[in-house]
Amino acid sequence: MSKQLNLVAQLRLGTVLILSGAFWVSLLNAQNGTSIQLKDGLNGYEGNEDFYTYRVEGGVFNSKTDLDDQTLLIAPLNLDAKTVMRFADIPVSRSVGTIYRLAVKLTFQRTGRADTIMLHNLGPQDIWDEYLGNYNSLNGSAVWSGADGKLIDAWSNTDGVAIVTGGEETLSTLTIEIHPNDEPARRAVLQSWLDGSNQGFVLRGINGENAFFSSDAYNPAHRPELIIEYSSY
């Protein structure tokens, strides 16, 4: 009886756990349908990868192997920095209905500095490796796309924007909404992550540097989170 009451309580709260592939995913009832929240360490999900890389005086560095693997530093590309992220194994069907929301939530590792954070979806040609990539190379051999490997002229669209006011406290969060007013564009980004060639996205600043927790943060609550709200046909 206690198990039945517990299940009823969960259903009333709108929380259901389902098995998808090899991990558990938390599904929360959203106003417009179903909301999925993916974060490394949440209900067994382990599909988030990220790193940032710097080029300094001829040297190239990878945050996961040479620097602090808990930190994801987002800076302007003209400061010789790149930051990339992806969420693999997304448990959403390609035939899903309307995509109401697609967003990435980051947690500040230190006080925010005023800036504009921009998200650009990466194409299938930019096949990067979390541990082998550096400023000059995607994966230890192939070069980044775009003039001087700057990436940004390899595509024309900005897929997400978020404003850092400079007043954010450590452990506060920043949410980057992906095409909040354009469902077809939102869908196209998500579909590119579901088609087997998911390379995620690059994150960049305009004026300053901001430090967020990476997918390897010791506290799972501080790791990046992908939010998807959708309806089924």
**Domain spans in the chain, listed from the N-terminal domain onward:** 33-230
Q: Give the pLDDT confidence score for residue 1 in this predicted structure.
A: 37
Mean pLDDT by 10 residues, the chain (233 residues): 31 32 43 86 95 79 89 82 92 90 98 95 87 85 69 68 96 98 96 91 90 96 97 77
pLDDT at position 61 = 86
Please state the separation of Cα 54 from the chain's center in Å: 19
The per-residue pLDDT for 95 is 84
- Looking at residue 18, its pLDDT comes to 33
Helix (H) or strand (E) holding 194: helix 183-194
pLDDT given for residue 207 in this prediction: 86
Please choose, from the candidates 177, 200, 26, 201, the residue with its C-alpha nearest in 3D space to the C-alpha of residue 101. 177
Phi, psi (rounded to 5 degrees) for 24:
-95, 145
CATH architecture for the domain at 33-230: Sandwich (2.60)
Report which secondary-structure segment, H or E, holds 37: strand 33-38
For the chain, the helix, strand and coil percentages under 3-state DSSP, each to the nearest 5: 15, 35, 50
Q: Which amino acid is at 76?
A: P
Q: What is the pLDDT of residue 11?
A: 26
195: amino acid identity, one letter = D
